[in-house]
Amino acid sequence: MMIFCMVLGVSSFILEPVATQAETECQPVEKKKIKVEGYISKKFRRERKKIAKEFAAMGDTRTALRAFPMGKASDVVAVGRCVPAYIARHVLTTAIKYTGGVGSLVFQGFLHSHWIGIGTTMFDEPSQRKVTDEQVSQLLNPSLDDKNFHVLYQKFSKQNKLVPFFGLDVPNVKIPGASTVLSP
């Protein structure tokens, strides 16, 4: 039993760095397509298939779009860290036309690397950050390469350290190391 525990402990120590290393490398979109998923506004439900083709026009993407059941779709957008800037810009521009716009960005640490969510409602407020129209236009700048696009995205989607909770500002529990205990 003692040997089994030692082997298990050693194997988890050896395997952990390998898994971390594999996560940091992005596969090219020719091998792993970008998935564009989420909601479009209800008024476009009859045009959903045409709009899905418009989202996929840049190539190397798969789409899974649904019509939001009530009016405008959410203005929350999420872009994974391995999404090329040209695809992200195209999807953001198209999302502005068919959703509630782009008003919040989701922190990349919660996302699959080859995924874009538009009009998404699956992330709570502590995992997203409000953005201004000026910040969105900076992301849409065609001169940004992949690296600079994601640096800017990460800057704009950085989580707030404090979040509102029943009228108080409390530490954001979505940030590693944040305290969940309120002091008097």
* Vertex 146 angle, CA 49 and 144, to 5°: 95
Here the tokens at position 25 are 């490398």
pLDDT in tens, the chain (184 residues): 444 444 444 444 444 333 333 457 889 888 999 999 999 999 999 999 999 999 998 889 999 999 999 888 899 999 999 999 999 999 999 999 999 899 999 998 888 999 999 998 888 887 889 999 999 999 999 999 999 999 999 999 887 677 777 777 777 777 765 555 554 4
Dist. CA 118–CA 120, nearest whole Å: 5
Torsion of Cα atoms, 138 then 88 then 75 then 97, to 10°: 90
Query: What confidence score (pLDDT) does residue 169 get?
Result: 73
Query: What confidence score (pLDDT) does residue 173 get?
Result: 73
* Vertex 115 angle, CA 70 and 137, to 5°: 75
Cβ neighbours for 66, distance < 8 A, ≥ 6 positions apart:
38, 39, 40, 48
Half-sphere exposure of residue 123, counting CA atoms within 13 Å on the CB side?
A: 29
Residue 59: what residue type? G
Q: What is the DSSP letter of 131?
A: -
Query: What confidence score (pLDDT) does residue 176 get?
Result: 66
Here the tokens at position 174 are 């979505």
Query: What confidence score (pLDDT) does residue 177 get?
Result: 59
Query: What confidence score (pLDDT) does residue 4 get?
Result: 45
